[in-house]
Structure 1
Amino acid sequence: MTDAPILEVRDLAKTYGARLGCADISFDLWPGEVLAVVGESGSGKTTLLNCLSTRLAADGGSIVYAMRDGSRRDLATMPEAERRFLMRTDWGFVHQNPADGLRMGVSAGANVGERLMAIGDRHYGRIRGTALDWLSRVEIAADRIDDGPRAFSGGMRQRLQIARNLVTAPRLVFMDEPTGGLDVSVQARLLDLMRGLVRDLGLSVIIVTHDLAVARLLSHRIMVMKDGRVIEEGLTDRVLDDPRQPYTQLLVSSIPQA
């Protein structure tokens, strides 16, 4: 890790009319760190993720991102075109439902290749070769490169979405319940793949999940949310092995029944 965070969040807040989405959220994310945001449905974790990734405009606070050139930029004041370019290149976003993160009408290879075209690559042979390499890295057979996502299983679609996101070598990846809706055996295989890729590529990741087993396996640090606020945070093993807040204790005690 470097001596400066890749993301600095201060006093972030979002409301939906009279309803609180999230409030008073402050933290730093470091290069190569995986931060899990956990909590029950309605806790505000998805609202937080969407604000951090600029998919939702926050109502207050600041999100400062360390650009590749070393400058630090407040995302709220960044021009829309520049933010959109970041989302296509330096960031990734892995959706719970792979169909939300894939172009379902084009081939697997084209899904991966589109991200390369977004950063200016126009050489068909090189794009196809890179797509083949990434399909291999996410355990999709080379002979499926021209198949569309609709011909894939849920687990394969999720692996394809991961390849599409990582092909441009992003430094920051947002993940929204990436194992949700998958069978347990498929989840285990996907988690093993994700853990290896995160480690090998040195990615910074913010992952939202209600599954504490996923948080334990993937994350270095954890934030527990309830009613739109962070009520406990710390190193993942410390929080899960010695939770201090009654709400966190309840979440941890529910793991065997999950």
Structure 2
Amino acid sequence: MSERPLLTATAITRHYGTHVGCEDVSLDIHEGEVLAIVGESGSGKTTLLNCLAQRLAVTSGQVSYRMRDGETRDLASLTEAERRFLMRTDWGFVHQNPADGLRMRVSAGANIGERLMAVGDRHYGRIRETADDWLSRVEIPGLRIDDRPTAFSGGMRQRLQIARNLVTHPRLVFMDEPTGGLDVSVQARLLDLLRGLVDALGLSAIIVTHDLAVARLLSHRMIVMKNGRVVETGLTDRVLDDPRHPYTQLLVASILEV
């Protein structure tokens, strides 16, 4: 495992006209590390995630990534084809609404198989066998392999989206409120599943969440955002058990009062 960061962001800024999405944010993430970005709605956390994942152009700043060949590249220098290939293979992106990350009109197996085909697998039997294996890993019965996601519950759709993302063994996964909108019992199951997969696969992940319990369960480090800026950063347990910034103290206190 390299000591060099997998991804480094330097002074990331994104403006929407006169509105600040995020301002002067710097961070890095190493292999096998999970970073949580937390804050209230409108804090800039999703804007930052989309800038890091190259889904949104930055106003200023730089995001660089260490490729599988060991070369660290400024992501702004990639061609569109290189960027698409990176997103389909080495990266994953889990949306809050699974319908945004799935093809709803094709089968569960085809959703997983598409990612495999993106890395060159063309053997139908092997693709179907791998899809069946991944459905099992995310606790979806294999007999549902030919069902479309439209026939799935919200929790099953989210688990299918996770399988679709992880089947190519990405090194970095971006997650935008992965448990948002799910019932509490479904959230708990999904979190247990995510934690197990992250540990088993040695994934790096950047997770946006407003739920501090999710951050504590899944992340090693966290950054706290307010009005587009980072107000506190550190090891997750330290930040939650001994918050230094008044805003972080307020967030933690509001959870304790619930």
TM-score, normalized by length of structure 2? 0.99
C-alpha distance in structure 2 between counterparts of 1:183 and 1:103, whole Å: 23
Letter in 1 for 2:54: T
* Alpha-carbon distance, 1:200 to partner: 0.5
In 2, the alpha carbon distance for the partners of 1:5 and 1:31 equals 7
Cα distance in 2 for partners of 1:213, 1:254 equals: 12
Task: Tell me the distance in 2 between the aligned counterparts of 1:56 and 1:9.
Answer: 14
Q: Take 1:177 and 1:254, find their aligned partners in 2: how far apart are those partners?
A: 19
Partner of 2:126, secondary structure, is: helix
* Distance across 1 between alignment mates of 2:41 and 2:51: 17
Q: After TM superposition, give the deviation of residue 2 of structure 1 in Å.
A: 2.9
Larger mean CA deviation between 72-81 and 1-10 belongs to 1-10
* Matched letter for residue 13 of structure 2: A
Give the 4+ runs in structure 1 shifted more than 3 A: none
Deviation at 1:257, TM superposition (A): 4.8
The residue identity in structure 2 corresponding to 1:5 is P
What is aligned with 1:152? 152
Partner of 1:50: 50
- Residue pairs, 1:231-246, within 5 angstroms: 231-246=231-246
Number of residue equivalences: 258
TM-score, normalised to structure 1, is 0.99
One-letter amino acid of the structure 2 residue matched with residue 197 of structure 1: L
Q: Which residue of 1 aligns with 2:102?
A: 102
What residue is the counterpart of 2:88 in the other structure?
Answer: 88
**Unmatched segments (≥5 aa) in structure 2:** none
Q: Distance in 2 between matches of 1:28 and 1:150?
A: 37
Q: Unpaired runs of 5+ in structure 1?
A: none
**Cα-to-partner distance string for 1:120-151 (whole Å, 9 max, x where unaligned):** 11100000000000000000001000000011
What code does the residue aligned with 2:79 have? P
**Residue aligning to 1:72:** 72
2:181 corresponds in structure 1 to: 181
CA distance in 2, matches of 1:133, 1:191: 20
Equivalent residues in 2 for 1:241-252, closer than 5 Å = 241-252=241-252
Partner amino acid for 1:242?
D
Deviations 1:57-79 (A, max 9, x none): 01111111000000011001111
Residue 193 of structure 1: aligned partner: 193
Corresponding residue SS for 1:254: helix
- Report percent identity of matched pairs: 76
1:188-211 Cα shifts (integer Å, max 9, x gaps): 000000000000101000000000
State the alpha-carbon separation in 2 of the partners of residues 84 and 92 from structure 1. Answer: 11
